[in-house]
Chain A
């Protein structure tokens, strides 16, 4: 397998009021194509920040200031070198997002939500329709496609969000707490779906989670804490590095 995500020496600092908070400190990360990686760690440890940086939703320290910062390579392209104008196009082509709060557009139906990212592709109307219907079929919601988000259960909403994430056939799906707002049964169903998409469609998954079940089902688990990233489950009692990939 080849690396599809490579982070080299990435730092991220937030300023809140007068306080400077360094959440990532020269982090390195490599994710192989087709992998299923779970990022775990306490709240505020920087898990979601890594996801946002990989997805080009946020910028690492040093960007735009001419400083020699780190690099984020996704599918061989340097995300940190892209302009604000280039990033949206790149994101539309390569990345699918799944969020904890589902983030569906409430005024649109499930079908229309899935259709949204397809508007950014060169597909014609008929192809877009076919692709959206296929994505909803994959997540088992073909019979709910004309429902608005508020007419769906939490688990169904998340499955629509997953259909939206895979509709454009992206290389990578980034999921931020995809089971965070779901009950156990719905969370299991969503994980079943993500695993199936990973194994059957070969999508690379990077999932931020607090849920130990998700960590257990991922092929590889990484732990983020105090700005550092280590492979494996969190080490007990003060150890700073974990063992082999799960």
Chain B
């Protein structure tokens, strides 16, 4: 039996205000659902994509309490440890306080080896690209005390170029003359793992150390050490050995895997991820009720027309198909646009979230789930009105007001 499909676009067009508002509600709902879920998955991925051979050592008291700098050599002596670097949070900004992103002072000799699998140098000094960029950047970092490596996100945002000197205004390591810290860009990196932010500057630890020492400010600590283990090393034993080394001070340590270290930042947010996930689900449910209501109103207005179609000889199945397709068109349009909006706003939102949520990304899995939800909204919204119309006796439907 043929179906008069032309009725679907005609109905949608005839009640364009209602159709438009329903689509708009769905666009907003699916956009919010994807965004909220992406916040949660980004937080999760920081933990799940962490290197399994990397440990972080921090003060047992707090991440904000420094550890002595000579811990580095002691940690390096522990059996199973391959390399160690300082990992000092600098906490400055570029030109304006709103241009805030992460800067870390690291032991660049160790850092390049340690992060070989986490980043790729896309441009080195002199415009070198490809495989040669890595070695060129390492060499330039060795020869220039003020050298730094910047992420592609920062290059996009501020239009920086390799060879440029950028002034970073300190908030923690303030110099006596109040001047900014000049850093020379010798390379641009791109993360190869989702837990690495593309808006970070890595610069030489000795630049920080020597400058602060020369300032007479004293400088005897670092916030964290990053440790790479030898292949096959037992992480639990290495962790226990490092912490045992400093059990009697002067500063006790708390060593964790990179995943656990990342998880502490997620844990700082408490139940926020769960709360956000709940909100995402609630939004979709709220809109589901709205679409059901829209379809029920549409069905109520269409009772008389249903009577006409039934009198002409159209079966109940045809009426069910018409309502189902109309509902799917509405939800598909709204949901599809919502998903599209979530994906195209990814870059902008990554910038908005900044250092709070590095590597923000809308995963294809999230979009797939959104598409499934869209389909479910379309089908579920059609059930009640379709059954209502199908159950109507033609004679009763014809009596109803159109």
**A interface vs B, CB < 8 Å?**
52, 55, 57-58, 85, 88-93, 97, 99, 103-108, 112, 116-117, 119-120, 164
Contacts and interface: CB of A to CB of B under 8 A. Distances in A.
Contacts of A112: 6
Given A89-B313, A97-B312, A116 B395 contact: no
A90 B312 CA distance: 10
Q: What class of interface size applies to chain B in its complex with A?
A: 20 to 34
A52 B399 CA distance: 12
A120 B2 contact: yes
B313 A92 contact: yes
A88 B7 contact: no
Contacts of A85: 315
Interface of B: 1-4, 6-7, 10-11, 13-14, 304-305, 307-315, 393-395, 398, 402
B4 A91 contact: no
Given A52-B395, A120-B2, A107 B310 contact: no
A67 B389 CA distance: 28
16 contacts: A52-B395, A57-B394, A57-B398, A58-B394, A88-B314, A91-B313, A92-B313, A97-B312, A103-B311, A103-B398, A105-B7, A106-B305, A107-B11, A108-B6, A112-B6, A120-B2
B14 A107 contact: yes
B312 A117 contact: yes
Contacts of A57: 310-311, 393-395, 398
A118 B13 CA distance: 24
Contact of B398 (A92, A93, A99, A106): A99
B297 to A, nearest CB: 16
Contacts of B13: 107
B2 A119 contact: yes
A164 B4 CA distance: 15
B310 A88 contact: yes
Contact of B311 (A91, A106, A108, A119): A91
Given A105-B308, A120-B1, A88 B10 contact: no
A58 B393 contact: yes
Given A57-B394, A116-B309, A106 B314 contact: no
A99 B10 CA distance: 23
Contacts of B4: 116, 119
A57 B402 CA distance: 18
Nearest to B10: A107
Contacts of B310: 57, 88
